[in-house]
Structure 1
Amino acid sequence: MRITVFRRLMTEEFGSLRAEMLAKDHVLTSLGGRTVDQALAAGVAVKDIWRAVCDDFEVPPERR
């Protein structure tokens, strides 16, 4: 998954403002206590980050 696709999915799921805020502030324990932005900077696979976000926010399977 490309980062642009990931960002689009985040915006579609949470809205642009909330998606940006979540990426910056929400800590994902399944990614070693990193935020989305920190995980991206650390080179974590984008698909793994999306899965972690979906798990934390209980995104329905049809939108994952």
Structure 2
Amino acid sequence: MRLTEFWDRMDRHLGPAYSRTWAETQALPELNGQTVQEALASGEHAKTVWRAVWAHLQLPPRDR
């Protein structure tokens, strides 16, 4: 998954105004307590981060 697709999905589910803020402030247990931004900055694959977001937000299976 490319970062552009990742951010498109984030914007679709959280809204473009909120997705970046959420990514900077929400520490996810699925990412070992890191925020989305921290995980991406540390080199975690966008697909792995998306799956953590998907699980955390309990999104429908079709959005996985």
Structure 1 residue runs of 4 or more that deviate by more than 2 Å after TM superposition? none
Partner of 2:51 in structure 1?
51
**Alpha-carbon distance in structure 2 between the residues aligned to 1:47 and 1:17:** 22
Q: Which runs of 5+ in 1 are unaligned?
A: none
**Alpha-carbon distance in structure 2 between the residues aligned to 1:18 and 1:54:** 16
Q: CA RMSD in A?
A: 0.8
Decide which structure has greater strand share: 2
Normalised TM-score (structure 2): 0.93
Identity of aligned residues (%): 38
Partner of 1:24 in structure 2?
24
